[in-house]
Structure 1
Amino acid sequence: MKILIVGAGSLGLLFAGKLLCVAGTEVRLVTRTRQQAQLINHNGIIVHEGDDREVRTNIMCTSFEEPIHADGPSDGRFDWIFLMVKQTHINAALLNYVMKTAAGSTKLLCFQNGVGHVERLVEASIPANRIYVAVTTEAARKDVDNAVAHTGAGITSIGCVEKREARDAMFMLENVLKSAGFHANIAENIETIVWKKLLVNSVINPLTSIMGIRNGQLLSSPHCLKLMESLHIEACEVLQRYGLHISDELWEQLLEVCKKTSANSSSMLQDLLAGRETEIEWINGSLIRLAAKQHIKIPAHEAVYNMVKGLEQLKRSKH
């Protein structure tokens, strides 16, 4: 199987490093900068597992600005493209890049948080029956540009946005992911899983960003828990009206995510600290827009949305 991974953040490095260890799997990586690509080409990828084990693998890597045909597989085609960039990086240039690279029957697997990216890919003339969605709870931390720590094992669910999916291709991919050490499954209800992850992110990410704390610190204060509960209740109402079944156990699952990722800084907090645009627009913003269509108010989400957007502007003005 030939896989192109676009995006070399923490998850991109983790998946690339582990997939390279699977016999018969050819992996290529695309980074945002030439500097990171050169570092990885010279030194490979280092994956630090939780048991103090270190895995080093060599990989052919190129930057987004450079053509990939010289580094691609022998026939110039990939079976899968893993799109592992953030929502904020899906722009016209990236869409054009994916269009040119997804030759023939290449399938696209999207790992983005939030919603809205699939619609943008379809609008860019990528056939819907070749677009697949992945939701992963794997936890990783990028230490340097070619090294990543696997801080928590999770589950990676994959599904197709259309019913006419190629199940054989998904089964093959599922087996490759399992061979790499990931817990993977094919999900019939991928849309529900996407929205449930969005709900979790809509609670944890903005609160940790606004307060500048790690995920686990949310559980140490009754005031933080009260805020979490308000966001959770509002999001549940929106999604239930949308037609999704929200189980009573979701609140406990949300708390469990905080515990399992207690030492992690959310990606939204990392973006804020670095002066980058966050994914708030596609997480809480998506819930706010969906609530507006239902003619209901979700004031807690509106409040954290505006606070994060305000912090974005303040941070950018300082950089």
Structure 2
Amino acid sequence: MSTESTYQPRRFAVIGAGPVGSVVAAFLAWGGYEVTLCDVIPDLLEPALNPGILIEGVDNLQARVARTTTSVDDLGNDPPDVIFVTVKATALPLIASALESFVDEGRYVISWQNGIDTEQVLAEHLGARAVMRGVVNFGCVPVRPGQVRLAFHHRPHYLQELDPQSRDAAIAIAGVLTECGLDTHHTTAIADMVWRKTVLNACMNPLCAVTGMTMVEIINDPITFDLVDSLIKEGIAVARINEFSLGSNYYPFAINYIKSAGNHKPSMLQDIEAGRRTEIDYINGKIVEYGFQAGVATPYNTMIRGLVKALEPK
């Protein structure tokens, strides 16, 4: 099967100037591509133009984007070839609605986010042909606007189109990301990969959010680690009953993976501390949803989702 592509995107936009979006924008700009960074918070955008987004940690680089905007609608004045959506999943319906007016034939939108079924929200508005899904394998922490610390970078990342007619474009975009240093492979199993990652997120992020503990503290405490273990096993059961392939050795892989977690706060804890809505509905909430439709009980995920939702209004 050929992995070559004739599609050649040059102009990109990244919606979301948080740590994940800043990393994508910086790597693309560093690779010589034209990048527009979009966010509703002007203070997050100013450093991206001058002196440029600074990435430190396991990777180190600094790059300036071509332009910034505080409105998704502004992207429609001169639409880019490819748009990365890196904001929290809770903002997807509003963003997808704004993109409808100018995402047309030959333009693509990528859900570069955590959570299950985020790409489906985009496809409901934009059509499957315009939408792709990525699985991101780096962890990043905001230092200040325009500066991000990469805590880990487990290459490669993965990308897949929703519609087979967009396969050529997906291969090309994966090639661009790889060329820029964000090594990305085209895959035909993105749903399985999304579940592999989400089960890991579902066992750690909400426990940190509820307890205020870092990831290492959660692992080192035998009581919370027992909860982690139960959440992993429950997530595996739901994935498998719904016929998502995690791999025969997924449980030991998951345990070993989380034991290497860094001593930092995951994004869900950062959201709770900042008074923002979390992505709990697209992580543990989706495990609960898929468990319900398959007749599998999910008491641990139901419990932790409820606790995080109770904290959000505070």
Q: TM over 0.5: same fold? A: yes
Does residue 21 of the first structure (1) align with residue 30 of the second (2)?
yes
**Could you say what secondary structure the match of 1:227 adopts?**
helix
> Equivalent residue for 1:122?
123
User: Over residues 92-138 of structure 1, what are the superposed CA-to-partner deviations in whole Å (9 max), with x where a residue is unaligned?
Assistant: 3x2232223424310111012112333322322x1202210000111
Q: Does the CA contact (< 8 Å) of 1:115 and 1:286 recur in 2? A: yes
TM-score by length of 1: 0.88
The question of whether the paired residues in 1 share the 8 Å contact of 2:73 and 2:99 is answered with no
Q: How does 1:37-48 map to 2 (within 5 A)?
A: 37-48=45-56
Structure 2 match to 1:33 = 41
Alignment correspondent of 2:62: 55
**Aligned residue for 1:5?**
14
How far apart are residue 65 of structure 1 and its match? 6.4
Q: 2 CA distance for matches of 1:65 and 1:132?
A: 19
Partner of 1:110: 111
Deviations 1:63-97 (A, max 9, x none): 12662356xxxxx33221111111111233x2232
CA distance in 1, matches of 2:65, 2:309: 39
Unaligned runs of 5+ residues in structure 2 are: 1-9
Evaluate the alpha carbon distance shift between residue 104 and residue 65 of structure 1 in structure 2; reply closer, same or farther with a 3 A threshold. closer
- For structure 1, the residue ranges without an aligned partner over 5 or more in a row are 71-75
Shift of 1:255: 3.3
Whole-Å separation in 2 of the counterparts to 1:258 and 1:285: 21
Structure 2 counterpart of 1:104, one-letter code: E
Shift of 1:260: 4.3
Give distance in 1, aligned partners of 2:245 and 2:122.
Answer: 27
Moved more, 61-70 or 175-184: 61-70
- C-alpha distance in 2 between matches for 1:98 and 1:132: 14
SS of corresponding position for 1:100:
coil
Task: Write the deviation string for residues 240-269 of structure 1: whole angstroms up to 9, x where unpaired.
Answer: 110122334323332344344412211111
Other-structure match for 1:279: 279
Distance 1:145 1:299, change over 3 A: same
Q: Tell me, yes or no, if the aligned pair for 1:77 and 1:103 is still in contact at 8 Å.
A: no
2:74 to 67, 74, 83: 67
Identity %: 23
Confirm or deny that 1:97 pairs with 2:105: no
Using the alignment, how far apart are the partners of 2:158 and 2:311 within structure 1? 33
SS at match of 1:134: strand
1:120-159 paired onto structure 2 within 5 Å: 120-124=121-125, 126-154=126-154, 155-159=156-160
Q: Compute the TM-score of the two structures, normalised by the length of structure 2.
A: 0.90
C-alpha separation in 1, matches of 2:72 and 2:29? 23
Aligned to 1:85: 87
CA 1:58–1:4: 2 relative to 1, 3 Å: closer
Partner of 2:195: 195
